Amino acid sequence: MAIAKDTVVQFHYTLKDADGTVIEASHGNEPMAYLHGHGNIIPGLEEEMAGKEAGTEFVATVSPEKAYGQRDETAIQRIPAKHLQGAKKWKKGMVAHVETDKGQRQVTVIKVGKFMVDVDANHPFAGKELTFEVKIEDVRDATAEEIQHGHAHGIGGHQH
């Protein structure tokens, strides 16, 4: 069956940046599963998935606008080091959690001072053109429960 709204898709992928460097890959793990038509994956990849069937392999290059958006330079902030959660000592490039009034956010440490730390709250893939090499493993109808929850269950999906 072809991928359409309210189908659950299992797929393997390799994600590369514009230089061809592998950023992430699902191979060696369970395939990733998502509920199509519910914004579970980035828009650019969901568009490419539509209409394809199990066994199909394809390569899709997705612009930042259809992936994680452009970088927001105002998302770089200087905050007290004691507000960072996740490690005792901080170094450039480490990922920390910070409590904000909008809940917990993930930030990347870009500069460490004695008491203050510069962090970047942009998504690590913001501003990047992303290339996905995809192999579709399985396509099935979603259950009523999956549609109600808005996500896939089972292998590669949500575990309740």
* 108 vs 143, beta carbon nearer Zn ion: 143
Q: How far apart are CA 37 and CA 45, in angstroms?
A: 11
Which range of residues in 9-17, 30-38, 44-52, 141-149 is near Zn ion by CB under 5 A? Answer: 141-149
Query: Cβ-closest residue to Zn ion?
Result: 149
Residue 149 in contact with Zn ion, rule: CB under 5 A: yes
Smallest gap from Cβ 142 to Zn ion, in A, equals 11
Residue 38 in contact with Zn ion, rule: CB under 5 A: no
- The tokens describing 122, both together, are 């942009």
* 38 vs 158, beta carbon nearer Zn ion: 158
Selected binder of Zn ion within 38, 71, 135, 158 (CB under 5 A):
158
Smallest gap from Cβ 64 to Zn ion, in A, equals 30
Smallest gap from Cβ 38 to Zn ion, in A, equals 11
Binding residues vs Zn ion (CB under 5 A): 149, 158
